[in-house]
């Protein structure tokens, strides 16, 4: 029976191509896709229609119509449905991923100020079918909804959270200002990284950081053992207000950079960097404290401002010494988020200037969501079980 149906489908395709030539390509492809999806459902269920089989995994549940644009024209598809099983045709899975990538490209062009008419022309050249300016606007709107859902998705337990900010130029009230883009990265209990969310606002002041951290908390963020960030005063105050009991690790890379501004002579800078590195390379808090005391004593005469700064600032970079040794190297700095910020910059520098905060948030969210999806299916960032 199955062979008879397949033969009939192929016969229908050949008949269409004989009668209509290339004009019948879209309908022919629709027939073949529909037949392929139907056969895939049979394999998934382990049985054909009305067939009794001990290997049956579920039951067919009709079809759902879907119109899909392609370079050959509109495809009228009948997507097979199942009852009590999770099934979706693999051919359309690939199509949906392509459709998602196309929508992202459309939205990115739209965000960067390319007219909807130009976007439609580019799409027609690339894909072989026309997309109207209305469809471009609709794609951007649909993406906005999708991105908002991602930004508001529930969170869970993340032992480690890294925070950082960068700036993008945005037009506001007739002038151009630098908007703060806040980004949070978490390492979950399985050891995988995930970008938790982002926010765009007119400043990096405490109120912006506090609202951002409160939004993460409201979404269910919990289980933190350590925050890692730079020492921005607004961030420090907001973190203490929202998560007062969670230890904080100040980025060691930024500490090294900050130290150089207190070095009075160029010739001293290399030696100062080496002395600070000996503090950060300590294996225990006691060893690190001893190195800090030696450093302060060494420079109290030749660089008194450096010595005074080091006495209070360097201990802020030692919270990782309370962590398993295998976790310290990757949590001593904000470098993981610095790389994310570089990717954001690569994608936003083409825009140069955003027309508003919403357009900036749209593109930044799309970029970090893409990165986070890659992380979740990639290698573990940290080994959480049996870490020493």
Same domain, 76 and 105: no
Q: CA of 312: how far to CAs of 176, 277, 315, in Å?
A: 37, 16, 6
Count CA atoms closer than 13 A to 332's CA, side-chain side. Answer: 19
Domain termination site, one of 151, 169, 188: 151
> Is residue 353 domain-resident?
no
Q: In this structure, what CATH number is given to the domain that contains residue 206?
A: 3.30.420
More confident residue, 62 or 185: 185
Same domain, 322 and 259: yes
> Is residue 338 domain-resident?
no
CB atoms within 10 A of CB 90: 12
> Is residue 52 domain-resident?
yes
How much is the average pLDDT of 217-231? 96
Q: Crossing angle, helix 304-313 and helix 285-299, to 10 degrees?
A: 160
> Is residue 131 domain-resident?
yes
Domain termination site, one of 43, 70, 87: 87
Same domain, 272 and 292: yes
> Is residue 200 domain-resident?
yes
Give the pLDDT of residue 16.
58
Domain around 264: 252-332
How much is the average pLDDT of 208-228? 96
Asked if residue 309 has pLDDT above 80, the reply is: yes
Same domain, 316 and 275: yes
Give the pLDDT of residue 1.
42
Give the pLDDT of residue 78.
86
Tokens for 21, please give them: 């030539």
> Is residue 350 domain-resident?
no
How much is the average pLDDT of 337-350? 86
Instruction: Of 99-108, 144-153, 304-313, give the lowest mean pLDDT range.
Output: 99-108
Q: Where are the beta strands (DSSP E) in the chain?
A: 59-70, 73-83, 160-172, 175-187, 193-201, 226-229, 248-250
Give the pLDDT of residue 3.
46
Asked if residue 282 has pLDDT above 90, the reply is: yes
Asked if residue 7 has pLDDT above 50, the reply is: no
Same domain, 286 and 225: no
Give the pLDDT of residue 236.
92
Count the domains in the chain. Answer: 4
Domain termination site, one of 124, 151, 178: 151
CB atoms within 10 A of CB 348: 22
- Mean pLDDT of the chain, nearest integer: 83
Same domain, 160 and 278: no
Same domain, 59 and 12: yes
Same domain, 160 and 138: no
More confident residue, 131 or 198: 198
Same domain, 364 and 237: yes
> Is residue 323 domain-resident?
yes
CB atoms within 10 A of CB 357: 19
> Is residue 139 domain-resident?
yes
Same domain, 227 and 372: yes
Position 358 confidence tier, pLDDT thresholds 50, 70, 90: confident
Same domain, 30 and 68: yes
Asked if residue 190 has pLDDT above 60, the reply is: yes
> Alpha helices of 112-232 — where are they, by DSSP H?
116-127, 133-151, 206-218
DSSP 21: G
Asked if residue 162 has pLDDT above 90, the reply is: yes
How much is the average pLDDT of 305-321? 96
pLDDT in tens, 14-51: 565 556 666 667 777 777 778 778 888 888 888 777 77
pLDDT in tens, 366-375: 889 889 988 9
Give the pLDDT of residue 172.
82
Same domain, 363 and 241: yes
């Amino acid at each position: 029976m199955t062979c008879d149906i397949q033969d009939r489908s192929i016969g229908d395709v050949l008949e269409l191509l004989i009668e209509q030539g290339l004009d019948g390509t879209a309908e022919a492809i629709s027939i073949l896709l529909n037949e392929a999806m139907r056969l895939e459902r049979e394999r998934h269920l382990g049985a054909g229609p009305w067939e009794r089989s001990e290997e049956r995994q579920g039951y067919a549940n009709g079809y759902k119509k879907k119109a899909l644009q392609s370079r050959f024209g509109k495809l009228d598809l009948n997507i097979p449905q199942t009852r009590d099983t999770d099934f979706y045709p693999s051919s359309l899975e690939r199509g949906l991923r392509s459709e998602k990538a196309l929508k992202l490209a459309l939205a990115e062009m739209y965000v960067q100020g390319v007219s909807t008419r130009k976007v439609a022309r580019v799409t027609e050249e690339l894909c072989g079918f026309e997309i109207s300016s209305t469809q471009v606007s609709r794609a951007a709107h649909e993406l906005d909804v999708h991105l908002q859902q991602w930004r508001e998705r529930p969170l869970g337990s993340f032992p480690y959270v890294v925070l950082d900010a960068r700036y993008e130029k945005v037009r506001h009230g007739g002038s151009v200002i630098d908007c703060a883009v806040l980004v949070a990265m978490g390492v979950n209990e399985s050891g995988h990284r995930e970008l938790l969310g982002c926010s765009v606002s007119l400043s990096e002041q405490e109120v912006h950081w506090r609202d951002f951290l409160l939004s993460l908390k409201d979404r269910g963020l919990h289980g933190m053992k350590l925050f890692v960030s730079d020492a921005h005063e607004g961030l420090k105050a907001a973190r203490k207000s929202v998560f007062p009991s969670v230890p904080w690790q100040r980025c060691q890379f930024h500490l090294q950079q900050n130290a150089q501004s207190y070095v009075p002579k160029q010739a001293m800078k290399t030696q100062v960097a080496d002395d600070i590195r000996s503090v950060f390379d300590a294996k225990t808090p006691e060893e690190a404290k001893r190195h800090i005391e030696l450093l302060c004593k060494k420079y109290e005469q030749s660089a008194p401002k450096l010595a005074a700064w080091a006495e209070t600032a360097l201990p802020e970079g030692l919270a990782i010494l309370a962590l398993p040794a295998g976790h310290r190297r990757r949590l001593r700095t904000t470098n993981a988020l610095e790389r994310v910020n570089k990717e954001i910059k690569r994608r936003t520098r083409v825009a140069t200037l955003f027309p508003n905060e919403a357009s900036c948030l749209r593109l930044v969210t799309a970029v970090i969501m893409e990165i986070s999806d890659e992380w979740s299916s990639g290698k573990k960032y940290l080994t959480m079980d049996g870490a020493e």
